């Protein structure tokens, strides 16, 4: 069901997710895909990151509506995450990131 709801953007990741993983979604927007990913890795933590506060506010509201307790949203730059390298088991991004900015700066996945 996860692959169906997240569409082509998240379908490739769905078979790789396991309960207890820690996942970050860079450029999460309103959080609909992020919420599905969070349910797939529960009770593991999922963090949605996006620059506009309005986007993460929508995500927070969605998480409350769905009762998803393992999901948090941060309004910050994906290029300056407050996490050490190696902090995540999986990383998702439905946005294009320049090759020079993809690897260790995104939380060290």
pLDDT score of 14: 82
SS3 96: coil
Q: Name the band, by pLDDT with cuts 50, 70 and 90, for residue 5.
A: low
The values of phi and psi at residue 48, to 5°, are: -100, 130
Q: At what angle do helices 32-41 and 53-66 cross, to 10 degrees?
A: 50
Contact 105, 79 (CB under 8 A): yes
pLDDT score of 96: 57
Rounded CA separation 71/13 (Å): 18
pLDDT score of 4: 47
Model confidence over 11-70: pLDDT tens digits? Answer: 778 888 999 999 999 999 999 999 999 999 999 999 999 999 998 999 999 999 999 999
Contact 49, 74 (CB under 8 A): yes
Residue spans of alpha helices (H) in 28-85: 32-41, 53-66
Rounded CA separation 49/12 (Å): 20
pLDDT score of 103: 41
Q: Name the band, by pLDDT with cuts 50, 70 and 90, for residue 85.
A: confident
Average pLDDT in the 94-102 region? Answer: 52
Contact 27, 18 (CB under 8 A): no
pLDDT score of 23: 95
Domains and CATH numbers, the chain: 2-83 (3.40.50.150)
């Amino acid at each position: 069901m996860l692959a169906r709801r997240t569409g082509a953007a998240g379908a490739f990741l769905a078979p790789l997710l396991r309960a207890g993983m820690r996942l970050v979604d860079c450029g999460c927007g309103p959080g609909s895909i992020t919420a599905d990913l969070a349910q797939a890795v529960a009770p593991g933590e999922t963090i949605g990151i996006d620059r506009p506060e309005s986007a993460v506010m929508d995500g927070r509201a969605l998480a409350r509506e769905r009762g998803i307790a393992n999901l948090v949203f941060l309004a910050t730059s994906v290029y300056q995450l407050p996490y050490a390298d190696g902090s995540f088991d999986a990383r998702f991004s439905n946005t294009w990131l320049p090759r020079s900015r993809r690897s260790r700066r995104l939380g060290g996945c």
